[in-house]
Amino acid sequence: MSKPRVVLLISNLAGSNTWALYKYYLKHYSGDLEILPVFENELQNNSEVVNEAKIIVTTFIPIKARKDQVCIQTWHGFPIKSLGILDDVDRNDVDYLTRMIELSDFWLSYSATYTTIINACFPHLVENYLLTGMPRNDFLFTDKSFAVQKLSTLIGLSAEELMFKRLILYCPTYRSTLRRKDSQISANDLYELINSRIFLDYLETSQTLLVVKLHPFEEHIASNLERSSKNIFLLRNSDLLLNKIDLYEFLPAFDLLVTDFSSIYFDWLLLNKPIVFFVPDLYSYSKLRDFLLSPLDFWMPGVKCKTVEELIEAVENSLRKDEFKKDRERLKRVVHHYQDGLSCKRVFSAMEEIINANIRPPQIHIKYCEGLFLPTYSERSLF
């Protein structure tokens, strides 16, 4: 008898939960599931593979080739921005909302806090959540030297050279897509700011290497940007794909994270290292996109800076004094139920339970009905 098939849909390698599951499978899994990774851009060529799966694991839009398949939504981060039915743009995209809500049989969850926040945006029933922690976060429990080695492979500097440098990662979230404009400034503007003379001088004098990773939605901008300094490395999605390394596999290499409203910082909390928020557009972003969470001082535990001068000061202070340590620890408790690097293991156990019908999606579903999402009873057979 053939093994029950699980298809892992991979969108990109910028913090992919499905990639993390695949890597776990290759290294540690000895159970009865057949695991097949499929990159989303190759989905059309793999329709047979997907069609025969019992479980499809996704990181974004859920898909199903057959009604009796189970779709597990891993999503791609703990949200701070408005989302789903609580977001004005998403709210008007009924097709998107319906897919997200009606096709996701299970959602992986970080914690009760995350379940509540996600459910406020994409309503399901409590039985739709699997409290496992996020697979990609298992990478954060790997050794720093191992992570430096991976980074070294990607950026062409030796691990020894990197060990003597201060390593900072800059990960801004996207500012606009075809569907929405979330800020008055663009990703290009942000890139120009960190390429200003004062910041480049600071990187040089402090022997800092800044690795910049733009959001996958704004990857097209990255391809037009030139490397402006030996102290700045612009990491592209294509670099990650070519080397088959996910961004999270080398996060432990960095000493500090500079970001804004990207979900990466919620995961970064597990590393117990400082965060600086570079948010020149905090005001316009809050007006155009808005946040799910408030007050921001609680949910963004780090200095919020608007200018490059403030950014330099914040980086220096954070590395010297780390005054936000207590605030980060508090938020870590609120966000992460599990803090152990065993999330993939829990997800594989859950998938086995689903296959064995020990865990089943509830028979009540949330359905779209005349502008409302309402619980509805309906029987469904699986596999």
Angle between the 187-194 and 308-320 helix axes, to the nearest 10 degrees? 70
Nearer to another protein, 156 or 295 (CB): 295
Shortest CA distance to 106 belongs to which of 54, 141, 44?
54
CA distance 206 to 100: 46
Task: Provide, rounded to whole angstroms, the least separation between the CB of residue 176 and another protein.
Answer: 21
Q: Which of 103, 221, 364, 382 binds another protein (CB under 8 A)?
A: 364
82 binds another protein (CB under 8 A): yes
DSSP state string for 275-308:
EEEE-TTHHHHHHHT-BSS--HHHHS-SEEE-SH
Task: Provide, rounded to whole angstroms, the least separation between the CB of residue 259 and another protein.
Answer: 21
Task: Provide, rounded to whole angstroms, the least separation between the CB of residue 303 and another protein.
Answer: 17
94 binds another protein (CB under 8 A): no
99 binds another protein (CB under 8 A): no
Nearer to another protein, 29 or 368 (CB): 368
Task: Specify the stretch interacting with another protein by CB under 8 A; choose among 20-28, 33-41, 279-287, 370-378.
Answer: 370-378
Task: Specify the stretch interacting with another protein by CB under 8 A; choose among 148-156, 165-173, 248-256, 287-295.
Answer: 287-295
Q: Which of 99, 166, 325, 330 binds another protein (CB under 8 A)?
A: 330
Task: Provide, rounded to whole angstroms, the least separation between the CB of residue 79 and another protein.
Answer: 10
Task: Provide, rounded to whole angstroms, the least separation between the CB of residue 83 and another protein.
Answer: 10
Task: Specify the stretch interacting with another protein by CB under 8 A; choose among 186-194, 227-235, 273-281, 358-366.
Answer: 358-366
Query: Exposure string (b/e) for 19-33, b if CB count within 10 Å is 16 or more?
Result: bbbbbbbeeeeeeeb
CA 36 to chain centre: 21
Which residues have C-beta within 8 Å of that of residue 96, sequence separation ≥ 6?
61, 90
CA distance 39 to 45: 10
282 binds another protein (CB under 8 A): no
Q: Are 16 and 246 in contact (CB under 8 A)?
A: yes
CA distance 56 to 64: 7
Longest dimension (CA), the chain: 65
Nearer to another protein, 181 or 337 (CB): 337
Q: Which residue has the tokens 């965060």?
A: 275
Q: Which of 86, 89, 157, 225 binds another protein (CB under 8 A)?
A: 86
Burial of 241 (0-12, 13-18, 19+ CB in 10 A): middle
Residue type, 373: F
Nearer to another protein, 158 or 376 (CB): 376
306 binds another protein (CB under 8 A): no
Q: Which residues pair with 87 in a beta bridge?
A: none
Which residues have C-beta within 8 Å of that of residue 91, sequence separation ≥ 6?
84, 85, 97
Task: Provide, rounded to whole angstroms, the least separation between the CB of residue 337 and another protein.
Answer: 6
Nearer to another protein, 120 or 225 (CB): 120
Shortest CA distance to 275 belongs to which of 317, 233, 235?
317
Q: Which of 112, 163, 198, 242 binds another protein (CB under 8 A)?
A: 112
127 binds another protein (CB under 8 A): yes
Task: Provide, rounded to whole angstroms, the least separation between the CB of residue 109 and another protein.
Answer: 11
Q: How many CB atoms lie within 10 A of CB 309?
A: 13
143 binds another protein (CB under 8 A): no
125 binds another protein (CB under 8 A): yes
Q: Are 335 and 113 in contact (CB under 8 A)?
A: yes
Q: Are 134 and 343 in contact (CB under 8 A)?
A: yes
Q: Contact letters (x/-) for another protein, 172-201, by CB under 8 A?
A: ------------------------------
Nearer to another protein, 248 or 373 (CB): 373
* Chain residues in the site for another protein (CB under 8 A): 82, 85-88, 91, 111-113, 115-117, 119-121, 123-127, 291-295, 297-298, 330, 333-334, 337, 362-364, 366, 372-377
